[in-house]
Chains A and B, each alone.
Chain A
Amino acid sequence: DTEVTQTPKHLVMGMTNKKSLKCEQHMGHRAMYWYKQKAKKPPELMFVYSYEKLSINESVPSRFSPECPNSSLLNLHLHALQPEDSALYLCASSQDGAAVWSEQYFGPGTRLTVT
Chain B
Amino acid sequence: AQSVTQPDIHITVSEGASLELRCNYSYGATPYLFWYVQSPGQGLQLLLKYFSGDTLVQGIKGFEAEFKRSQSSFNLRKPSVHWSDAAEYFCAVGTNDMRFGAGTRLTVKP
Contacts and interface: CB of A to CB of B under 8 A. Distances in A.
A103 B44 contact: no
B44 A56 contact: no
Given A90-B44, A108-B42, A108-B43, A102 B32 contact: yes
Interface stretch (B61-69, B75-83, B92-100): B92-100
A38 to B, nearest CB: 12
Interface residues of B, number: 21
B49 A103 contact: yes
Task: Name, among A45, A101, A103, A104, the residue most crowded by chain B CB atoms within 10 Å (CB to CB).
Answer: A101
Contacts of A88: 41
Given A45-B98, A101-B98, A90 B90 contact: no
B94 A106 contact: no
Interface of B: 31-32, 34, 36, 41-46, 49, 90, 94-98, 100-103
Interface of A: 4, 6, 40-43, 45, 48, 56, 88, 90, 92, 99-109, 111
